[in-house]
Structure 1
Amino acid sequence: MDKRNAALTALVVDDSRTMREMVSAMLEAQGIGHVEQAEDGVSAFRAIDGLEKPVDLLFCDLAMPGVDGVETLRGLAARNIEAGVVLLSGVDPKLIKTVADMAEQLGLRVLGSISKPFREDQIAEVVAQYHRIVAPKRGRPALTITAQELEAAIDDNRIEVFYQPKIRVSDSQVAGVEALVRMRHPAYGLIQPSAFIDIAEETSKRITRLTLAVLQKAIAQAGEWRRAGLELGLAVNVSTQSLRRLDLPDMVEDMASKAGVDHTSITMEVTESQVMGTAEILHILSRFRLRNFKLSIDDFGTGHSSLARLRRLPFTELKIDRSFVDGAADDPDLQSILTSSIELGKRLRMTVVAEGVERWADWRLLERLGCDQIQGYIASLPLAAADIPGFVRRWTERAA
């Protein structure tokens, strides 16, 4: 049992006393320190306002008389609660999905939904989700880096790269890593990209400088791993603003040559919403492929690329967005989307990667559907370069 659970406060909102007590008992069995109950939205608001500490986990039924679950969620959003929200219901799964989307757009952190009758393993899973997703972010004020701070970080070599492993499904071996940017701030320490990517993309020059800094560090690191006997594929995100620099393929080729890294082991990732660009972007993508670099269409399913357009683009990898992966094992609609996406990638002779994999049930589904690689917290959080060899060794021993 996770010892962190003892510090958590949960609120169960359901008009059925039996259901409230059942979920409460399951939460207490998980070691949750304090569990409150409310019979409807009004009672929930009263309970939240009366508690000495914020609610960490909120379980909310949808079909309640009077103030129903939808109205309750809107009222919770208006109170700016930071709790992880779990929807309790026996209604149509599509309706649950619609309500979850609404709640997320209102700023609530939805961990998922549980259909009646409830099971203790479902409760345990959403509590684990809370620790993975919500807990690290609670209480942290929003931080936005200024353009001057970002420029200074690039100038002072304070741009750092972390690496998230990608696992090959067929044999459970580590296929490669994705390079993820971080910034080392003199006062705030290590900063996540959400605090500075928007400011970076305000100008083509700034995002290109940042992209080149990441490419330089990541490719050099891949070379170090290779010389140490560790062959890993490397994927790096590239903004289309950077793709307007016509000499970018030449620059990356020079980096790879100096590092001793084969071009075929480097994948340039471009998000789906960005690939419908100009002739110059297609020009640069084509030049990357002519030099045997790989190209990945990232966040597939969230953009608006037509199938005809996708067929003509020189991509070698299709990366399915996490919104279609997480929870797919329990969602027939997501399963249909995954099946179609994987089949499409295979027919277009692409490697198919699923990102955001956090549950073994989803992993097993992706394996059955023929997905090539997975990436997500189920394998590892993003790691510092020094931690990658140890991770590969432990994962390989585990998979043996």
Structure 2
Amino acid sequence: MPGGYPSVLVVDDSLVQRQHAAMLCRELGMDLVYEASDGREALALLSMLVLPPSLLIVDLEMPGMDGFEFLEELHRLQVFLPVLIASSREQMLMNSANTLGKELGLPMVATLAKPLCLTQLREALTNRLPQQAGRARPAPLPLTAGDLDTALREHALKVHYQPKVDMHTGLLRGVEALARWTHPVLGPIPPDQFIPLAEQSDLIEPLTLSVLDQALAQTAAWQTRGLNLSLAINLSPRLLESPTLVEHFSAQVAQHGLDPHQLMIEITEGSLAKRLDVALNRLARLRLRGFGLSIDDYGTGFSSMQQLARIPFTELKIDRSFVSEATQRPHLQVILRSALEMAHQLGLVSVAEGIETLQDWRLLQTLGCQIGQGWLIAKAMPGDDLHPWLRGHRQRLALLRAEPEDLAAPTQQPD
């Protein structure tokens, strides 16, 4: 059966549409097909079933409890089942439901227009396996500032590196340094849990400086082997308040024998909200010394363009939320095209993160994006794994290149 879904619950107030969807699911080999006429009936059924369905097909416009309310109730009840939205309403409304589901941590499979057809349903379920359909937020772990402080003092936080490649040639251009922590008891700790903990407990400065020192040392080691790469590192808004920030970054880069131009400092728009005067002072001085400045997660805030006019950025990094579904959502393509054109007009290097499929890659190539990173290229990896990855990556260059017949011979990359 497509996507490995053996059972399904179809939630639709239209008897005809509901039975049609149920029939298609049976044709696709689903052994158990349940039906409900609205959200309330579906929740009552789910509470009684010993074996819950592996998929929910949900309409949006229903009396009693509509599709949006149903998604909220699933989240409230901690029922994280894969959801496929099927509706006759406009695509933008379906996209909103899909976004809401993801924000609630539900595994969202796809959005399809009614009436459903067998080919579209099979394709949607095949392309979106349950473990890939959504990224539910992990439950908070019982961590304390003391745990993190101990990890820092024992050098337990390590740095992994995600490759950034030229979108025209596929060649490696740089890496982004990302902190990783494996707790001796709790195992791997997600960054979205230990980074906020560090910021709340005044440990963000030692954490950032540890990542910076490790990453610069690794970049210098690569350089001795002939691999000259740029290094991107995320800067917490808390560090923009440090009066020694500029001097420390400059000293660390010099100590490792690198050039400031090799370091790209990524700043989220939210970092600039509280004390623009302080942030502007630090960032302008860093730029004066040759460091690159990237506005990270571009498009997720309300004043990104205003910040571009204030801060001497050299790079614009487009948030993954505008990349991951752009091939299916035309309005996202409009936003992408606008952002990339603006970056070009301002003389900024354009970077897209979160590229997970070849379709994402091709679209961004067509729109003129310059640098890309994401799981299609590689996940973040330990520094020692970069050279083996690079040898394998060379075999994919022909697939990734936009117009192979028009390209000059590629620059040789060292082993």
Q: TM above 0.5, one fold?
A: yes
Query: Within 5 A, what are the aligned runs for 1:195-214?
Result: 195-203=193-201, 205-214=202-211
C-alpha distance in 1, partners of 2:162/2:57?
32
Specify whether residues 134 and 335 from structure 1 end up closer, same or farther in structure 2 by C-alpha distance, changes over 3 A only.
closer
- Greater CA drift, 171-180 or 98-107: 98-107
* Maintained 8 Å contact 2:167/2:370: yes
Q: What's the offset of the Cα at 1:327?
A: 0.9
* Maintained 8 Å contact 1:62/1:88: yes
2:247 maps to: 250
Q: What's the offset of the Cα at 1:358?
A: 1.8
Question: Is there any run of 5+ residues in structure 2 with no aligned partner, and where?
Answer: 399-415
C-alpha distance in 2, partners of 1:299/1:104?
18
Q: What's the offset of the Cα at 1:86?
A: 2.4
CA deviations 1:231-254 (Å, max 9, x no partner) are 222111001211222322222222
Q: What's the offset of the Cα at 1:221?
A: 1.1
Cα RMSD, aligned residues only: 2.6
C-alpha distance in 1, partners of 2:73/2:277?
48
SS in structure 1 at match of 2:327: helix
Q: What's the offset of the Cα at 1:153?
A: 0.9
Specify whether residues 24 and 315 from structure 1 end up closer, same or farther in structure 2 by C-alpha distance, changes over 3 A only.
farther
1:239 maps to: 236
Specify whether residues 373 and 8 from structure 1 end up closer, same or farther in structure 2 by C-alpha distance, changes over 3 A only.
farther
Q: What's the offset of the Cα at 1:370?
A: 0.5
1:19 maps to: 21
1:181 maps to: 179
C-alpha distance in 1, partners of 2:213/2:53?
44
C-alpha distance in 2, partners of 1:234/1:25?
51
Amino acid aligned to 1:235: A
2:131 maps to: 131
Specify whether residues 228 and 52 from structure 1 end up closer, same or farther in structure 2 by C-alpha distance, changes over 3 A only.
farther
Query: Within 5 A, what are the aligned runs for 1:217-236?
Result: 217-236=214-233
* Maintained 8 Å contact 2:8/2:55: yes
Q: What's the offset of the Cα at 1:45?
A: 2.4
Amino acid aligned to 1:261: L
Specify whether residues 355 and 54 from structure 1 end up closer, same or farther in structure 2 by C-alpha distance, changes over 3 A only.
farther
SS in structure 1 at match of 2:226: coil
- Greater CA drift, 276-285 or 239-248: 276-285
Q: What's the offset of the Cα at 1:133?
A: 6.0
C-alpha distance in 2, partners of 1:24/1:43?
21
C-alpha distance in 2, partners of 1:59/1:167?
38
CA deviations 1:251-276 (Å, max 9, x no partner) are 22222223233322211100012134
Specify whether residues 24 and 244 from structure 1 end up closer, same or farther in structure 2 by C-alpha distance, changes over 3 A only.
farther
Q: What's the offset of the Cα at 1:348?
A: 1.1
* Maintained 8 Å contact 2:60/2:68: yes
Answering whether residue 267 of structure 2 is matched by residue 267 of structure 1, we say: no
SS in structure 2 at match of 1:241: helix
Q: What's the offset of the Cα at 1:7?
A: 8.4
SS in structure 1 at match of 2:228: coil
Query: Within 5 A, what are the aligned runs for 1:31-50?
Result: 35-40=32-37, 41-50=39-48
Match of 1:98 among 96, 99, 118: 96
Q: Taking every aligned residue pair, what percent have the same amino acid on both sides?
A: 35
Question: Is there any run of 5+ residues in structure 1 with no aligned partner, and where?
Answer: none
* Maintained 8 Å contact 1:230/1:389: no
Q: What's the offset of the Cα at 1:92?
A: 0.6
- Greater CA drift, 160-169 or 345-354: 160-169
1:149 maps to: 147
- Greater CA drift, 14-23 or 388-397: 14-23
SS in structure 2 at match of 1:357: coil
Amino acid aligned to 1:159: L
Instruction: Compare CA radii of gyration and give the structure with the larger one.
Output: 2
SS in structure 1 at match of 2:369: coil
State the TM-score, normalized to the length of structure 1: 0.88
C-alpha distance in 2, partners of 1:363/1:22?
32
* Maintained 8 Å contact 1:311/1:348: no
C-alpha distance in 2, partners of 1:95/1:12?
19
2:79 maps to: 81
* Maintained 8 Å contact 2:106/2:134: no
Specify whether residues 35 and 327 from structure 1 end up closer, same or farther in structure 2 by C-alpha distance, changes over 3 A only.
farther
C-alpha distance in 2, partners of 1:154/1:390?
29
C-alpha distance in 2, partners of 1:105/1:340?
25
Query: Within 5 A, what are the aligned runs for 1:272-283?
Result: 272-276=269-273, 277-283=275-281
1:398 maps to: 396
1:320 maps to: 318
1:381 maps to: 379
Q: What's the offset of the Cα at 1:171?
A: 0.7
* Maintained 8 Å contact 2:9/2:36: no
Specify whether residues 150 and 375 from structure 1 end up closer, same or farther in structure 2 by C-alpha distance, changes over 3 A only.
same
Number of aligned pairs? 388
